[in-house]
Amino acid sequence: MTSKFTNLTGDYFVAPQLSRDDIRAAAADGFALIVNNRPDGEMIGQPKSAELEAAAREAGVAYAHIPVGSEGITHGHIEALHAALEKADGRKILGFCKSGVRSTFLHAYAAAAKGRAASEIIAEAASAGIDISAHAPILERLSHDATKDDQ
């Protein structure tokens, strides 16, 4: 597996900007879904989502575009990621953005919104070399709200 793909959990990985070659490598590594968290036009020279989606389809990998821009992560982003993850059905997923950090945050928020403990989520990210501890209050609130709704 390419070192460009960083494992967050057993089946969820993050990466910086992907190219067509990276998508082929992801397919060869057994990824079932690629989640693009970059808005089109964020940087000059960045591949368009439609180009990357075509490359994913050619490689036999599902693709979801859930762009997270300057507005930050919204409930809509979290719901879109939950829907994409359901379709992946437990198979390997690769989320990417400019650096991989935004994809890490979205995954963390989505996990908290499903009731996972903030401390576990933060520890996972830390073990992958990504510090999301400043988001502990948001993660705790999302997790609390999810577990409160289950009662």
Q: What would the pLDDT profile of 90-127 be if each residue is shown by its tens digit? A: 799 999 999 999 999 999 999 999 999 999 999 999 99
Q: What residue type is assigned to position 108 of the chain?
A: A
Say what the pLDDT of residue 147 is.
Answer: 80
CB atoms closer than 10 angstroms to residue 41: 11
CA dihedral sign, ordered 115, 124, 94, 48: positive
Answer yes or no: are the C-beta atoms of 100 and 130 closer than 8 Å: yes
**What strands lie across the sheet with 62-65, from one edge to the other?**
6-7, 12-15, 93-96, 33-36, 62-65
Say what the pLDDT of residue 54 is.
Answer: 97
Say what the pLDDT of residue 10 is.
Answer: 86
C-alpha to C-alpha distance for 149 and 146, rounded to whole angstroms: 5
User: Which burial class, exposed, middle or buried, applies to 88 when counting CB atoms under 10 A from its CB (0-12, 13-18, 19+)?
Assistant: middle
Q: What are the angstrom distances between the C-alpha of 21 and each of 2, 12, 24, 26, 59?
A: 11, 20, 5, 9, 10
Instruction: Specify the pTM.
Output: 0.93
- Domains recognised in the chain with CATH numbers: 6-150 (3.90.190.10)
Residues with pLDDT less than 70, the chain: 1-2, 149-151
